[in-house]
Amino acid sequence: MPTIKKPSKSMAFQNEKSNDLDKAHKAISNGAKIVQDLKGGYSIEYPSGGYFKITKTVFNKLSK
């Protein structure tokens, strides 16, 4: 069975962390939730199933 050595371009966005505080505020006001995964990363998950990762700095600003 072949293995994929690096993620494809379509999946590369999931590895990037967003540092945009305005984007995070808009997502939360639209019903999204802040989620902390088991590895210690933070992300914002939409009710429809989509998500994007955020940095710890953005998480700390949102949790105040």
14 by DSSP, 3-state: which?
helix
pLDDT in tens, 10-20: 555 556 788 88
Predicted structure pTM score = 0.69
Residue 55 covered by a domain? yes
Residue 45 covered by a domain? yes
Q: Which domain holds residue 25?
A: 17-62
Task: Quote the number of domains for the chain.
Answer: 1
Check: CB of residue 55 under 8 Å from CB of residue 23: no
Residue 6 covered by a domain? no
Residue 2 covered by a domain? no
Predicted confidence band of residue 31 (pLDDT cuts 50, 70, 90):
very high
Average pLDDT, the chain: 80
Is the torsion defined by CA of 6, 12, 14, 18 positive or negative? positive
